[in-house]
Amino acid sequence: MEMTSDFKIIEEPKKTLSMHPQKFALWLFMITVVMVFAALTSAYIVRQAEGNWLVFELPQTFWYSTALIAVSSITMHWAYLAAKKDNLDMVKVAIIITTILGLLFTAAQYHGWKVLAEEGYHFVGNNVSVSFLIVLVGLHVVHLVSGMIVLLVSLVSTFKYKVHSKNLNRLQMCMTYWHFLGGLWIYLFIFLLLNHN
Partner 1 sequence: MATADIHITEGGHDHDHDHHGNFWTTYVFSTDHKMIAKQYLLTGIFWALIGGTLSVIFRLQLGFPDADISWLEPLLGKWITEQGKLDPEFYLALVTMHGTIMVFFVLTAGLSGTFSNFLIPLQIGARDMASGFMNMLSYWAFFLSSVVMFISLFIETGPASGGWVIYPPLSALPQAVSGSGLGMTLWLVAMALFIVSQLLGGVNYIATVINMRTHGMSFSKLPLTIWAFFLTAVIGLLSFPVLLSAALLLIFDRSFGTSFYLSDIYIGGEALPNQGGSPVLFQHLFWFLGHPEVYIVLLPALGITSEVVATNSRKPIFGYKAMVGSMLFIAILSFVVWAHHMFVSGMNPFLGSVFMLLTLIIAVPSAVKVFNYLTTLWRGNLRFTPAMLFAIGLVSFFISGGLTGIFLGNSAIDIQLHDTYFVVAHFHLVMGSASFFGMMCGIYHWFPKMFGRMMDNRLGYIHFWLTFAGVYMVFFPMHYIGIAGYPRRYYSFTNFDTLNSFSDLNMFVSIAAIITFSAQVIFIFNFFHSIWRGRKATANPWESNTLEWTTPVVPGHGNWPGEIPKVYRWPYDYSKPGSKEDFIPQHIPFSMTPESNLPHENEMIKLEKEEGVNVVVVDDRKGH
Binding residues (CB under 8 A) for partner 1: these are 1-3, 5, 7-19, 21-22, 24-26, 28-29, 31-33, 35-36, 38-40, 43, 46-47, 50, 52, 123-125, 127-128, 131-132, 135, 139, 150, 153, 170, 173-174
Contact at 8 Å (CB) between 37 and 186?
Answer: no
Closer of 7 and 67 to partner 1 (Cβ):
7
Residue 41's Cβ-count burial label (10 Å; 0-12, 13-18, 19+) is middle
User: How many other CB atoms are found less than 10 A from the CB of residue 108?
Assistant: 19
Q: How far, in Å, CA of 112 to CA of 61, rounded?
A: 6
CB of 6 to partner 1, least distance (A): 9
The residue (of 7 and 159) whose beta carbon lies closer to partner 1 is 7
Q: Which residues contact 137 (CB under 8 A, 6 or more apart)?
A: 109, 112, 113, 188
Minimal distance, residue 106 CB to partner 1, in Å: 20
CB of 133 vs partner 1, minimal distance in Å:
12
Q: Between 25 and 55, whose beta carbon lies closer to partner 1?
A: 25
- With 0-12 / 13-18 / 19 or more C-beta atoms within 10 angstroms meaning exposed / middle / buried, residue 81 is middle
Cβ closest to partner 1, residue 3 vs residue 194: 3
